[in-house]
Amino acid sequence: MPDSPSSLPVIVSGIQPSGTLHLGNYLGAIRQNIALANDEAARSEAFLFIVDYHALTTLRDPEALRRYTMDVALDYLALGLDPDKASLFVQSDIPQLTELTWIFLCLTPSSQLEKGVSYKDKVAQGLTANGGLLTYPILQAADILAYTAPGRGLKVPVGADQKQNLEISRDTAGRFNQAYRPEDAPLFPLPDPHILDEVSVIPGLDGRKMSKSYDNTIGIFDEGKALKKKVMSILSDSTPLEAPKDPDADHTFALIRHFATDDERAEIAAAYRAGGYGYGHAKKALLGMIDRHFGEARERRRALAERPEHVRDILQAGAEAARARASEVMAEVRDAVGFLNA
């Protein structure tokens, strides 16, 4: 039985404008975000945002931040997000989020923040451990919970690397409800992560998780020579061309599986196993599939890039809708915590 409209969830998801978006972002999150946002039968509303407050934890180049922020908006729109169906906006246009973050932080044991995987990773990579990095997951909890609508769930499409952050968001919602609404109906629902197993961790050129910080990415909008160079550099083992190969152990095939049709996938897997099919062949096939998959989006992106004012208008309209919801939620939060003027 289809869900009744009132029980359909609100879709919320964020992306950092801290570099050029890559196939991991696309397959792990953006593709689902767009599909869910555009599917009016599957959700009540959708808030998709570009998290520039979060990017400040690692990026100190104002020009780059502005450029990457516009780039994420262009990418989303070129990839098919319909701005009439979802609110697309920039996080820093919603100042309520910093207030909500503060209120949540006052409920968060600092030991939980110190155990944050991305905090620990970044510190291990030698990045300065600023307070923003430490408290990052609580800003993310505010990002999600600020768009709560009465009687609805919050569904958050993300890659597997966001699992812990989503657990912290759930803990934060629970802590707030427990502290301020122990008897009443809880103010916040526990957000529901939507992680698709088959794309939860997309490997990069070296087989590790595709990530800006490992410099092993293929950009969503890479094309021509630059794209070819990257695809040809995907790490492969030294099995000779004639020998049979295991497609499931190969990083090129790990990407082919997401861009191939079912028939192509079966055919190429059989060719790997039969032998006489080299990694070079597989890489050429992948290149063709990427060109086919993103061909139209590349054209749309070029056209949109000529109209930055139009893109800014879309972001403004998205921010207005997001601020309207966030201020309703903040009025309840301010009242619940005991501020004199809620």
115 in catalytic set: no
Q: Are 217 and 196 in contact (CB under 8 A)?
A: no
Handedness of CA 169, 170, 173, 175 (dihedral sign): negative
Token readout for 181 is 């609404």
Smallest gap from Cβ 335 to ligand TYM, in A, equals: 25
Binding site for ligand TYM (CB under 6 A): 12-16, 24-25, 28-29, 51, 54, 140, 143-144, 156, 158-159, 161-162, 165, 199, 201-202, 209-211
The residue among 165 and 236 lying less far from ligand TYM, judged by its C-beta, is 165
Smallest distance from ligand TYM to CB 43, Å: 15
The string over 263-296, giving b where at least 16 C-beta atoms fall within 10 Å of a residue's C-beta and e elsewhere, is eebeebbebbeeeebbbeebbebbeebbeeebee
Q: Is 196 exposed, middle or buried (0-12, 13-18, 19+ CB in 10 A)?
A: middle
Catalytic residue (one of 85, 115, 155, 209): 209
Angle between the N-to-C axes of helices 163-180 and 96-105, in degrees from 0 to 180, rounded to the nearest 10: 80
- Our answer to whether residue 122 is catalytic in this structure is yes
Please state the closest distance from residue 182 (CB atom) to ligand TYM, in A. 27
C-beta closer to ligand TYM: residue 14 or 219: 14
Cβ-based nearer residue to ligand TYM, 129 or 270: 129
State the Cα–Cα distance between residues 155 and 161, nearest whole angstrom.
Answer: 16
- Point out the residue whose Cβ comes nearest to ligand TYM: 28
Find the catalytic residue in 163, 212, 228, 284: 212
Q: Using the minimum distance from each CB to ligand TYM, give the nearer residue, 255 or 271.
A: 255
Exposed, middle or buried: residue 297 (CB in 10 Å: 0-12, 13-18, 19+)? middle
Least distance in angstroms from the C-beta of 24 to ligand TYM = 3
Q: Is 246 helix (H, G, I), strand (E, B) or coil?
A: coil
Closer by beta carbon to ligand TYM, 187 or else 210: 210
Structure tokens at 73: 């908006």
**Catalytic option among 122, 155, 230, 283:** 122
Smallest gap from Cβ 53 to ligand TYM, in A, equals 9
**Which residue number, 56 or 284, has a Cβ lying nearer to ligand TYM?**
56
DSSP class of 197: G
Active site residue 120: no
Residue 123 CA to residue 121 CA, distance in Å, equals 5
Mapped onto helix, strand or coil, the DSSP state of residue 47 is strand
Residue 329 makes CB contacts below 8 A (sequence gap 6+) with 96, 100, 145, 146, 147, 148, 187
Q: Provide the minimum distance between the beta carbon of 83 and ligand TYM in the complex, in angstroms, as a whole number.
A: 19
The residues carrying an active-site annotation are: 122, 209, 212
